Amino acid sequence: MSDHAQEPLLEIRNLRIEATAYAPGEKPKDIVIVDDVSLSLERGKVMGLIGESGAGKSTIGLSALSYGRGGIRLSGGEIRLNGREIRTAGPGTLRNLRGREVTYVAQSAAAAFNPAKKLMEQVTEATLKHGVMSKEDAEKRAVELFRTLSLPDPEHFGDRYPHQVSGGQLQRAMTALALCPKPDLVIFDEPTTALDVTTQIDVLAAIKTAIAETGVAALYITHDLAVVAQVSDEIMVLRHGKMVEHGTVQQIIEAPREEYTRALISVRSIEHEEKKPTPEPLLRVEGVSARYGSMTKDVLSNISVELHAGQTLALVGESGSGKSTMARVITGLLPPRTGNITFDGKPLPPALKQRSREELRQLQMIYQMADVAMNPRQTVATIIGRPLEFYFGLRGRKRDERVQELLDAIELGKGFADRYPAELSGGQKQRVCIARALAANPKLIICDEVTSALDPLVADGILKLLLDLQKREGVAYLFITHDIATVRAIADSIAVMYQGRVQRYGTKSEVLTPPFDDYTDLLLSSVPEMKLGWLESVLDHRKMTSAGN
């Protein structure tokens, strides 16, 4: 213990990570992914690594295992773990280290577990392989960890297969897997990103408790500053593979020094004044129920909402609540079983095939994953130009001019028209999708989770663009999302959905003002807030209310 007291558990000095890019048509070239990053982590401390995609946070995290994914080279600097250099260590040393001294929790637990083996076998596998403890001890420890992580029925939880537990439980099981061999360091790589907010909070609390009880040190990688603020002691902000800022949680949240950190903190603070409803709604959904194929249960039951011209209705709820099904019903992909949809004063035919071209034009859609929503073999000009050609018969010069106008409207300048989707960034792709929807000159655009695949800052830009376009073009949005912050930023009215029903519906101010029903309360209070101690205060509050019952 005396040696360790002086030396930090993990010390990274001037780390440089490179990879070789084999771009078609060009000579292979080396690109620097991480440049001159240094950090040191004491035993039992948690450091958050934060940044947008491509910032190099996962790459740095994995370097603590002295591992580089797919062709990545740890080309310079020092990585010292427990006082010894591991960057240049041989495979034997690394084999002993990985899964024993340092373990890893991946983002998608569902993809990381072997579906053919029981959880217990997988949770104790590394521990047994490394001979850290006997099978009985390992299983006993696993059960203890299941209990710490508040998994249901900890004694028998390990007997289940991965598909028999929920996503949030699986993520906790992976945390147990990582903690089982009593490692010195755990790397959490976006462990809650793929989860619903209501699930995220439980997993987050479980991870925090487990870290505290086992006294393990951790690197916590995420793009969500509000999340990392709840679990870490220190935060390092990264951008483009370089360190932007490093400090304690309190300093980063309350007194950020760098411009970029300030931008990250003030993200989603768009203020949006809600508009008064007009007398006649643009879209009226009345008593709609729908189900898929031969299912015996409705996915949507008795939904009634209204959307007014030039306004935004947000459909909020966790995955499986029926939000996206709602979009399919309105677009006609899934004709409703019962109920009517009225659009612009006229009944909308239930099935896509019965709708006229004019009706189709009025109602456009923007998807969550912009990269699969565009044909990768068409140029931006074709993608945006096709609706112009199709609905308005624009051709040749006229079409090109209009395409350029639309590109200007989405704040992409010249030179984008001839590009292919693969040559655009994530945010640019989503902008092109917006332009494609706008090209039809619609009255209503359905936005299905359009910002959830984007980095916070980019997502902010998209939201601002959407609001701006609404002001200029008077288009209405049906905005589907699971993110309350986005709703606050954009909605005029809100429908909270839960298990295929509308739980709460009204104008934004009505819905977001207490008293809440139980589900809305759970949903709203689960959204991480950018302040210290938020997690504890929410959990305490919940404990109190459940005790009160």
Partner 1 sequence: MRGIPISALLGLIITAAFFIAAILAPWIAPYGMSEIVGDIWEPASDQFLLGTDNLGRDLLTRMIYGGRTTIFVASMATAVSFCTGAILGFTAAVYGGWVDQAMSRFNDLIMSIPTLIFALVVLSVMPVTLPILILVMGLLDSTRVFRLSRAVAVDINVMDFVEAARLRGEGQRWVIFREILPNALSPLVAELGLRFIFAILFISTLSFLGLGIQPPNADWGGIVKENREGIVYGISAALMPAIAIVTLSISVNLVADWALNRTTSLKGGRGV
Among 107, 199, 325, 331, binds partner 1 (CB under 8 A): 331
φ, ψ of residue 151 to 5 degrees: the values are -85, 150
DSSP secondary structure letter of residue 274: P
Q: Which is nearer to partner 1, 212 or 333 (CB)?
A: 333
Stretch binding partner 1 (CB under 8 A), from 225-233, 245-253, 384-392, 407-415:
384-392
DSSP 330-370: HHTSS--SEEEEEETTEEPPSSGGGS-HHHHHHEEEE-S-H
Among 16, 87, 147, 386, binds partner 1 (CB under 8 A): 386
Stretch binding partner 1 (CB under 8 A), from 69-77, 103-111, 385-393, 409-417:
385-393
Rounded least distance, CB 71 to partner 1, Å: 19
Residues 485-524, interacting with partner 1 (CB under 8 A)? none
Nearest to 189 by CA among 167, 218, 210, 209: 218
Nearest to 230 by CA among 537, 484, 455: 537
For residues 342 to 381, the per-residue mask of contacts with partner 1, x marking binding by CB under 8 A and - elsewhere, is: ----------x--x-x--xx--xx-x-x--xxxxxxxx--
CA 222 – CA 211 distance, rounded (Å): 17
Residue 548 is which amino acid? G
Residue 392 binds partner 1, judged by CB under 8 A: no
DSSP secondary structure letter of residue 419: -
Residue 390 binds partner 1, judged by CB under 8 A: yes
Strand, coil or helix: 252 = helix
DSSP secondary structure letter of residue 98: B
Instruction: Give bridge partners of residue 437 from the DSSP assignment.
Output: none
- Tokens linked to 179: 């903690």
Rounded least distance, CB 344 to partner 1, Å: 17
Q: Which is nearer to partner 1, 230 or 364 (CB)?
A: 364
Strand, coil or helix: 287 = strand
CA 201 – CA 204 distance, rounded (Å): 5
Q: Which is nearer to partner 1, 45 or 361 (CB)?
A: 361
Rounded least distance, CB 287 to partner 1, Å: 24
Residue 477 is which amino acid? Y
Residues 427-466, interacting with partner 1 (CB under 8 A)? 436, 440
Q: Which is nearer to partner 1, 205 or 437 (CB)?
A: 437
Rounded least distance, CB 363 to partner 1, Å: 8
Rounded least distance, CB 410 to partner 1, Å: 17
Q: Which is nearer to partner 1, 367 or 477 (CB)?
A: 367
Q: How many residues bind partner 1 (CB under 8 A)?
A: 32
Q: Which is nearer to partner 1, 322 or 421 (CB)?
A: 421
Instruction: Give bridge partners of residue 212 from the DSSP assignment.
Output: none
CA 474 – CA 456 distance, rounded (Å): 26
Rounded least distance, CB 475 to partner 1, Å: 16
Rounded least distance, CB 452 to partner 1, Å: 14
For residues 47 to 86, the per-residue mask of contacts with partner 1, x marking binding by CB under 8 A and - elsewhere, is: ----------------------------------------
Residue 440 is which amino acid? A
β-strands 185-189, 102-105 pairing: parallel
DSSP 66-113: T--STT-EEEEEEEEETTEE-TT--HHHHHHHBTTTEEEE-S-HHHHS
Rounded least distance, CB 423 to partner 1, Å: 6
Q: Which is nearer to partner 1, 278 or 354 (CB)?
A: 354
Stretch binding partner 1 (CB under 8 A), from 43-51, 59-67, 417-425, 485-493:
417-425
Nearest to 329 by CA among 369, 289, 287, 372: 289
For residues 260 to 299, the per-residue mask of contacts with partner 1, x marking binding by CB under 8 A and - elsewhere, is: ----------------------------------------
CA 60 – CA 79 distance, rounded (Å): 10
Close Cβ partners of 468 (under 8 Å, ≥ 6 residues apart): none
Among 387, 427, 500, 528, binds partner 1 (CB under 8 A): 387
Q: Which residues bind partner 1 (CB under 8 A)?
A: 23-25, 331-333, 352, 355, 357, 360-361, 364-365, 367, 369, 372-379, 386-387, 390, 420-423, 436, 440
